Amino acid sequence: MLKRFIDAHVHLNAYSPALMKFAEEQGAQFLSINTDVPIFPSLDEQARVIATYQSGHPEKVRHTTSFDMQDWQKKDWSMRAIDRIKKGIDQGATGIKIWKNIGMDPTLVYSDGRFLMIDDPKLAPVLEFIQENDLLLIAHLGEPRNCWLPLEAMTVDSDREYFEEHPHYHMYRHPQYPSYETQIRVRDQILERYPNLRFVGLHLFSLEWNLREVEQRLNRYPHTMTDLAERICHVQLQSIQDREAVRDFFIRQQDRVIYGTDFIYDGSQSPREAGRHLRDLWERHWRFFATEDRLQAPQFSGTFRGLGLPLHVLKKIFYENAVKTYGFSQAVQHATVENFS
């Protein structure tokens, strides 16, 4: 692994000095993404936790802010959302997160049955404010394509397990909700409408099933980046069919892809357990991208070879792209490799 790397997609929702000590020993820095998720602490509490982390580790943890959808149909909602964004940026946030509740939450629906989507006029003032102030928008819009398939047709076990445990987000069960194609089309229309918007399409733009589709967006929208969080198994699955195509994608798009895990720390695990879990993720992911070893993934059956990417590409994906996108210190940008022991 690199002696310094960034896991640029985590949710640090509880404070743990021991977890940070572990991360420092591993050479890891974090981008913690504050998100309006029902099972998460409030956005104010998430901000308080991050402030505690940053008070002791100002160069090790950066974060993004968000806004909630409470009273979204009221006339002053957009101004309140902008005020929350301003407060978050003033507190050091490096961007603004929009979550999949926009487009998939049955409580965010008009009286005529229309879902609130990202292209709704109510959100236009917020998006215009973000673009006009050259702020960074990061977005989890839509879900993996598996979300619209029956459980037995899903391609990876992690999706199958998640949607079995969260049936309210399993769109196959809810045909009245916007389709997968609608989610992608509306998101792309926003990128057309706001051509100067700096944007990170999280989770491989919710196009994890086909890297050609991801690349089309990166090529079409020059101000965009993407991240790998919780979607690396989909990349590994594609590498079984065409390893060279997958490898070539990362070489061509080496300046546009950011490493992240989507790890959540809420205090329910001990710091030791959380550290073991993180170390396992980091090691397995690094072996896939950095070596040509014959590997297996826990999310599906079969074996695949690591991509064996060049070191300069690995440095960008695991470190430098997060530095330039999220504003981490560049003091250790030229990291060298250190194997896991």
Going residue by residue through the chain, which has 341 residues, state the pLDDT in tens, using 9 for 90 and above: 899 999 999 999 999 999 999 999 999 999 999 999 999 999 999 999 999 999 998 889 999 999 999 999 999 999 999 999 999 999 999 999 999 999 999 999 999 999 999 999 999 999 999 999 999 999 999 999 999 999 999 999 999 999 999 999 999 999 999 999 999 999 999 999 999 999 999 999 999 999 999 999 999 999 999 999 999 999 999 999 999 999 999 999 999 999 999 999 999 999 999 999 999 999 999 999 999 999 999 999 999 999 999 999 999 999 999 999 999 986 544 455 665 54
Q: Which two tokens stand for residue 130?
A: 């973000």
What span, in angstroms and rounded, lies between the C-alpha atoms of 14 and 326? 22
- Amino acid residing at 303: T
According to CATH, the superfamily of the domain at 5-326 is Metal-dependent hydrolases (3.20.20.140)
Contacts of 62 (CB under 8 A, 6+ apart): 29, 30, 31, 32, 92, 94, 326, 327, 328
Q: Which two tokens stand for residue 185?
A: 């089309």
DSSP 8-state code for residue 41: P
Under a CB-based contact definition with an 8 Å cutoff, are residues 68 and 102 in contact?
no
What span, in angstroms and rounded, lies between the C-alpha atoms of 108 and 115? 6
Q: Where are the domains of the chain?
A: 5-326
What span, in angstroms and rounded, lies between the C-alpha atoms of 255 and 325? 10
Under a CB-based contact definition with an 8 Å cutoff, are residues 293 and 311 in contact?
no
Q: Where are the beta strands (DSSP E) in the chain?
A: 5-12, 28-33, 61-64, 96-98, 136-139, 198-201, 224-227, 257-258, 263-265, 294-296, 303-305
The whole-model pTM stands at 0.96
- Amino acid residing at 245: A
What span, in angstroms and rounded, lies between the C-alpha atoms of 169 and 37? 13
